[in-house]
Structure 1
Amino acid sequence: MSNIININFRTIESIGDLENVRRLESIIWSEYESTPIHQTLTAIKNGGIMLGAFIDEKIIGFQFSFPGFNGEKVYLCSHILGIHPEYRKLGIGEKLKRLQKEEALKKGYDLITWTYDPLETVNGNLNLHKLGARCNKYVENCYGEMQDELNEGMPSDRFTVEWWIKEEAVEKPNQYEFDNDSLVIKVVNDSKGYPVPLELDLIKNSESGFLFVPVPSDMQTLKKYSSELALSWRMSTGQVFTHYFQNGWTAIDLVKSQSNPALYLYVLGYVKA
């Protein structure tokens, strides 16, 4: 698959293409969870956006968004992004998000929001590190109990991210200044090399510099190794993110740990009210 270069990206509006999107959803997740055509069609006729990635005329990825309103502001709610299992790790997700930004600007949006699991570092790397979105809202068990392979057995906690698409991207340092005092979860690796969360630090009150929240580099592999350890990470990180978000901190980046290959680090910056 690495030699495939002829991937085309475009907006989707026809019923035939929308049915192909629904079928792709069924492959990625399940028939039960695929979005009905009448819903996607209505959304794109009323400010929503459906994007597709194609090889020839075969759809291999998609992104679906619809308008949102919080009582004060209209924004674009980015609902689902999916890639066919045979075509992942080709940068398709990032290209769909870049195209989403272009189409959203054409429609007059300046903000795109969406949710993702903060323990899925591939998503975090795309959303925060590459795109420049940020998050200061943690939602516990956002979607209730989910039965698909990625989410089964874990509370569906989520970040709600904001991508302000008219703002200039903030240039991030190649490497953050880091010491153990800025790590808010102490971690050790077990005998198999898997990270284990230990002491939580919820008393930092500095309003300068950065704080770092460690998360496992490969949550799905860790979950197969030990569901109890996976749940421990969910509970520990949930407590930490909730605390610091409520106290003025925002997740602005996700980077690999330089000292422990089993970890990624969320970078928190303090934002004055």
Structure 2
Amino acid sequence: MEVDYADTQEIEIRSLQTIQELEDVRRLESNIWGEHDSTPTHQTVTVVKNGGIMLGAYFNGKLVGFQYSFPGFKGQSMYLCSHMLGIDKMFRNKGIGEKLKQAQRREAIKLGYSHITWTYDPLESINAYLNITKLGGTCNTYMENCYGEMDDLLNNGIPSDRFLVEWPVLQREGKSYQWKETDMGFVQEKSLIQWEVDEKGFPIPSFSLPLPEQEHTKAFVAIPKDFKSLKEVNMEAARKWRLVTREIFIRLMKKGWHMTDFIRNPEGKMPVQFYMFSRK
């Protein structure tokens, strides 16, 4: 079924509480990630009764997306841990993830949370653009092989490295869009990871540049534009991207660099997009 983007304006987001609603979530989760590792309904029922949030996205009465989060604590500080966001594959890249995150923010405010945290794969450019640019999340922590070796449908075969995102719930605006008119040639030239393009049009890391000197205020790191497709056709190249970017991200953060933006380049033929790091 092809879904017209205009139709998704009719998406309804609502809080889920009943056993039947949460069982529908479990089935959707199984369709996305695989059956064997899905979250039991008895657990999600308990969580939503004890400070957690489960949100559902509905299209014509059918559940097509969900967002699941629960309370987290660090010392005396309480936050909302955003554990999982899933969208039916027929409804992805249509703005539903952003609708769910904004609804999550509103529900978090009602429950008294000050901020929300979650993790995502640094090489998934769609998630990076949503989390960093559109929502305005911040990220200064790299988690190597965060969940161990995962054998679900989306993560199988590659280390589960993650960025940890923090999102103040009272923050309403994302990053600016100052990069729309940027000379992408400059960003490409300065990227700490350089690449070649294979016969199928996918980028393969070729070499890395040294970290910028102390006087520089910006650093750029390329990642594949379509990491999911790259994994499907060339897992060796996908693993290489993981290891090369892992090294660069960890070194940058240890040297005091902070991720401040994600640049979705306007050149359709360029197979990469870019993180921007800055010094405080």
- What CA distance in whole angstroms lies between the structure 1 residues aligned with 2:38 and 2:224? 29
1:25–1:33 Cα contact (<8 Å) kept: no
How do 1:63-142 residues align onto structure 2 when only pairs under 5 Å count?
A: 63-142=67-146
Deviation, structure 1 residue 121: 0.8
| Structure 1 residues 263 and 12, CA gap change in structure 2 (3 angstroms) | same
Tell me whether 200-209 or 44-53 shows the greater mean CA deviation: 200-209
Tell me whether 200-209 or 21-30 shows the greater mean CA deviation: 200-209
Question: Secondary structure of the equivalent of 1:35?
Answer: coil
Of residues 194, 197, 201, the one that matches 2:209 is 201
Which residue is equivalent to 1:172? 176
2:70–2:81 Cα contact (<8 Å) kept: yes
Which residue is equivalent to 1:267? 276
| Structure 1 residues 151 and 15, CA gap change in structure 2 (3 angstroms) | same
Which residue is equivalent to 1:187? 195
Deviation, structure 1 residue 251: 1.7
Which residue is equivalent to 1:44? 48
1:207–1:270 Cα contact (<8 Å) kept: no
1:255–1:266 Cα contact (<8 Å) kept: yes
Question: Secondary structure of the equivalent of 2:36?
Answer: helix
What is the identity percentage for the equivalent residue pairs of Structure 1 and Structure 2? 45
1:65–1:77 Cα contact (<8 Å) kept: yes
1:142–1:157 Cα contact (<8 Å) kept: yes
1:202–1:243 Cα contact (<8 Å) kept: no
- What CA distance in whole angstroms lies between the structure 2 residues aligned with 1:187 and 1:78? 33
Question: Secondary structure of the equivalent of 1:243?
Answer: helix
- What CA distance in whole angstroms lies between the structure 1 residues aligned with 2:174 and 2:59? 33
1:185–1:213 Cα contact (<8 Å) kept: yes
Letter in 2 for 1:254: F
Q: Deviations over 1:7-51 (max 9, x none)?
A: 211111111111111111111122212111221112111211110
- Structure 2, unpaired ranges of 5+: none
| Structure 1 residues 125 and 239, CA gap change in structure 2 (3 angstroms) | same
Q: Is 2:153 the partner of 1:149?
A: yes
| Structure 1 residues 179 and 34, CA gap change in structure 2 (3 angstroms) | closer
RMSD: 2.0
Which residue is equivalent to 2:248? 240
- What CA distance in whole angstroms lies between the structure 2 residues aligned with 1:20 and 1:225? 32
1:182–1:210 Cα contact (<8 Å) kept: no
Deviation, structure 1 residue 80: 0.6
**TM-score in terms of structure 1 length:** 0.92
Deviation, structure 1 residue 214: 0.1
Of residues 20, 26, 29, the one that matches 1:25 is 29
| Structure 1 residues 16 and 132, CA gap change in structure 2 (3 angstroms) | same
Deviation, structure 1 residue 194: 2.3
- What CA distance in whole angstroms lies between the structure 1 residues aligned with 2:129 and 2:215? 25
Question: Secondary structure of the equivalent of 1:32?
Answer: coil
Which residue is equivalent to 1:35? 39
Of residues 57, 61, 66, the one that matches 2:65 is 61
| Structure 1 residues 207 and 17, CA gap change in structure 2 (3 angstroms) | farther
**TM-score in terms of structure 2 length:** 0.89
Which residue is equivalent to 1:256? 264
- What CA distance in whole angstroms lies between the structure 2 residues aligned with 1:180 and 1:58? 43
Letter in 2 for 1:220: K
Which residue is equivalent to 1:226? 234
- What CA distance in whole angstroms lies between the structure 2 residues aligned with 1:109 and 1:78? 12
Q: Deviations over 1:143-173 (max 9, x none)?
A: 1111123211111111111111223536424
